[in-house]
Chain A
Amino acid sequence: MKTTIEIIDPTTEEQATFKLHQLSPTIEKVISILNEEEHFLIGEAENALYKILFSDILYIEVVDKRSFIYTEKQVYQSNDKLYQLEEKLMHFDFIRISKSMLLNIEAIQAIAPLLSGRFEARLINEEKVAISRKYVPELKKGLGMER
Chain B
Amino acid sequence: MKIINYLKEAFRLTSLIFTTLVMLNLVLQTDALTHSLGYMLLIAAISGSLHFLIEDHEKYSGQRILLNHGIYLLIVCLQITLANYLLHWELGFGGLLLNYVIVVLIYLFIRFIMYNNDLKEADKINQFIQKRKQG
- B37 at interface by CB-CB < 8 Å: no
Q: Is the CB of A100 within 8 A of B118?
A: no
Given the interface contacts A118-B62, A119-B122, does A145 sit within 8 Å of B56 by beta carbon? Answer: no
Segment among B42-50, B93-101, B126-134 that sits at the interface with chain A = B126-134
Segment among A8-16, A63-71, A136-144 that sits at the interface with chain B = A136-144
Please count the residue pairs between chain A and chain B whose beta carbons lie under 8 angstroms apart in the complex: 55
In the bound complex, CA of A87 to CA of B63 (Å): 32
- B66 at interface by CB-CB < 8 Å: yes
Residues in chain A near residue B114, CB distance under 8 A = 117
Interface residues of B in 109-135 (CB under 8 A from A): 111, 114-115, 118-119, 121-122, 124-126, 128-129, 132
Given the interface contacts A98-B58, A113-B119, A113-B121, does A144 sit within 8 Å of B111 by beta carbon? Answer: no
- A42 at interface by CB-CB < 8 Å: no
Partner of B62, one of A115, A139, A140: A115
Residues in chain B near residue A33, CB distance under 8 A = none
Residues in chain B near residue A99, CB distance under 8 A = 58
Q: Is the CB of A111 within 8 A of B126?
A: yes
Partner of B111, one of A115, A136, A139, A140: A115
Smallest CB separation, B5 vs chain A (Å): 12
In the bound complex, CA of A108 to CA of B69 (Å): 29
Residues in chain A near residue B66, CB distance under 8 A = 115-116
Given the interface contacts A110-B129, A113-B115, does A118 sit within 8 Å of B56 by beta carbon? Answer: yes
Q: Is the CB of A136 within 8 A of B121?
A: yes
Smallest CB separation, B2 vs chain A (Å): 13
Q: Is the CB of B124 within 8 A of A145?
A: yes
Q: Is the CB of A140 within 8 A of B65?
A: no
**Residues of chain A having any CB pair with chain B under 8 Å:** 98-100, 108-119, 130, 132-134, 136, 139-140, 143-145
Given A100-B58, A145-B125, 10 more contacts at CB 8 Å? A109-B129, A112-B122, A114-B62, A115-B115, A117-B114, A130-B62, A132-B58, A140-B125, A143-B129, A145-B128
Sample 5 A-B pairs with CB under 8 A, ordered by A number: A111-B129, A116-B62, A116-B66, A118-B56, A140-B125
